[in-house]
Structure 1
Amino acid sequence: MQILYVCTGNQCRSVMAEYYTRSVLAARGLNNEDLDVRSAGTLHYPPHPADPLAIDVLKADGIDANPHISTPLTPDLSRTANLILCFEREQISDLLDQNPLAARKVFLFNDFVNVCSHLHADGPIPGDTVGDRLNEVMASVSMLRPFLPEAPETEDPHRKSREVFDRVYAEIKKGVNTIFDAVA
């Protein structure tokens, strides 16, 4: 299963989510579960490295994101991904403008986190693998969303202070941990 995180420039939020998720998968021994984690951005400008503050907050957790080079979101990327998590509703809209068929697999990050938390609280999520359980969550989102609080967007920390980066990274970490506590 391929998980794709999407933000605006693929410099901050999606980078932190991609690299943190990879570290969570490795720490849980799930890196051999056929899970591929990637990231992309809706802006289409030349490839560039991750924001230095994103690299720095990841480094504080022992995660090296120095090799990251931004990737612009393309219809091919959204077609090959099985699960797409965006940090703002506008990113979902941009993605669906490129690939309307992705509607069944693209979610606001915090919305997906809320559904994972809700399902996990009800007991084990059905499925033999992490991918099966992620698919079960995806299938449940539209049914559960009306009963859950409206999920907030994740603030874009680009060109903001270290405190904003720390806060956004803490939100992403909490969300990724919630997802994998539910499906792992």
Structure 2
Amino acid sequence: MRILFVCTGNTCRSSMAEVIARKWLKDNAPGRTDFELASAGLAAYPGSPASPEAIEVMSMAGIDLIKHRAKRFCGEHADKSDVIITMTDGHKQAILNSFPAAALKVFTLSELADSRSYDISDPIGQPAAIYLKCAREIQELVNKIFHKIVKQTDTR
């Protein structure tokens, strides 16, 4: 299953969601190789590193984000992803406006986790404490989503 996390610049929220999900799978579903995780940004500058605050907050959780480089969302992402998880409804709507055929596979992070949609606020330019709050919110939602997805796709 190819899962893509999407935000604006791919330097904060979606990059943190990707590595948080990777860690969840490693810790809770070891040996599962049927997941491909990635992230991208609708307005990303390709090759940009993750923000220093995102790197710091992920490091505090024992997760390495230093090697991350931003990718810009494109049609190939829309075509090849099985599930596209956005950080806001605005991101979701932008994807649907450009790629209406993706309608059945685009969800906000919150609607997949909680069956109700709300935005994950962008921490860019804020102090590390705001990034930490954002990361905790993402982690809580990712945990809920991956618990469901892994249970539904477990073939053992």
Partner residue, 2:130: 164
Partner residue, 1:109: 109
Larger radius of gyration: 1
CA distance, structure 2, for counterparts of residue 31 and residue 51 of structure 1: 30
1:60 shift after superposition? 0.8
Does the CA contact (< 8 Å) of 1:3 and 1:83 recur in 2? yes
CA distance, structure 2, for counterparts of residue 13 and residue 151 of structure 1: 16
TM-score scaled by length of structure 2: 0.90
CA distance, structure 2, for counterparts of residue 89 and residue 174 of structure 1: 18
CA 1:77 to 1:58, structure 2 compared with 1: closer, same or farther past 3 Å?
same
User: Higher mean Cα deviation, 80-89 or 95-104?
Assistant: 95-104
Matches within 5 A, 1:91-102: 91-102=91-102
Does the CA contact (< 8 Å) of 2:9 and 2:42 recur in 1? yes
Partner residue, 2:50: 50
Does the CA contact (< 8 Å) of 1:74 and 1:98 recur in 2? no
Q: Kindly provide the CA deviation profile for residues 10-51 of structure 1, in whole angstroms up to 9, marking residues without a partner as x.
A: 000001000010011011234533100000000043420001
1:178 shift after superposition? 1.0
Unpaired runs of 5+ residues, structure 1, are 116-149
TM-score scaled by length of structure 1: 0.77
Percent of aligned pairs with the same residue? 32
User: Higher mean Cα deviation, 32-41 or 43-52?
Assistant: 43-52
RMSD between aligned residues: 1.3
Residue 179 (structure 1) aligned with residue 145 (structure 2): yes
